[in-house]
């Protein structure tokens, strides 16, 4: 599965099935420069957005991005750590870097 947003680097993707609606929901962590956010929506909708012209996908990301916090990062760091695959080690490392940057921003 590949989700790419124009101008935004996709750091990590976590998908889960919503049992009530039977749709696959995705949490996508994106970053650009020193900005990091997460998106949460239906996976199919996100895939559709990536096929749209860049200015539309950029607007969609800007409208739907959510602020990261330590609680959310810790949840997904734990989730990816439990997977135990080499690819998840890289993802955990990236999420820890984002967490460190977030903590430093709060201190300064």
Cβ contact 98:38 at 8 Å: no
Q: Which residues pair with 16 in a beta bridge?
A: 25
Contact (CB, 8 A) for 42 and 24: yes
- Is residue 46 a contact partner of residue 3, using CB atoms and an 8 Å limit? yes
Q: What does pTM read for this prediction?
A: 0.83
49-91 per-position pLDDT tens digit: 888 898 888 899 999 999 999 999 998 888 888 876 667 778 8
**Chain mean position to CA 32:** 12
Q: Which residues contact 54 (CB under 8 A, 6 or more apart)?
A: 6, 7
């Amino acid at each position: 599965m590949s989700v790419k947003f124009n101008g935004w680097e996709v750091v990590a993707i976590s998908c889960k099935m919503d049992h009530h609606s039977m749709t696959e929901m995705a949490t996508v962590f994106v970053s650009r420069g020193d900005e990091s956010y997460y998106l949460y929506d239906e996976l199919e909708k996100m895939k559709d957005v990536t096929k749209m012209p860049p200015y539309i996908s950029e607007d969609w990301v800007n409208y739907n991005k959510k602020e990261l916090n330590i609680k959310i990062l810790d949840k997904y760091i734990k989730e990816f750590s439990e997977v135990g695959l080499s690819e998840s080690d890289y993802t955990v490392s990236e999420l820890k870097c984002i967490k460190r940057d977030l903590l430093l921003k709060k201190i300064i």
